[in-house]
Amino acid sequence: MIGGAHSNNTRELVDTCSRYCGRVHHVQTAQDLCEEWFEGTNTVGLTAGTSTPDSVIDAVEKWLNVFAPRDTQEEGLNRVAADVRRRILSSEEISAD
């Protein structure tokens, strides 16, 4: 999950993602990513808060794509599934789930 530390939209997205996946990490930039988060992982979902700049999203996706080939040889991350959905989630949409 990419987004600002104080963004309500991002917090809501983290909460929503956490309901479906136990391994959700909230980062603000690619520099916040940790290789060990992806050890033993085959697929990574990527989403971002509404106001997250495209350049930040692109940098995170690039980091993941650079990391993936190197780790593939070690039976780790072998595919990056980047599904960037940039929309505002209202409280009603989240509570409707």
Query: Number of structural domains, the chain?
Result: 1
Give 59-85 pLDDT, tens digit per residue: 998 888 887 655 444 443 444 444 444
Flag whether 95 is in a domain.
no
Report which of 2, 79, 70 is spatially closest to residue 33, judged by C-alpha positions: 2
Flag whether 96 is in a domain.
no
Flag whether 55 is in a domain.
yes
The whole-model pTM stands at 0.69
Domain that holds residue 61: 8-88
- Whole-angstrom Cα distance, residue 73 to residue 52? 32
Which residues of the chain are modeled with pLDDT < 70?
68-97
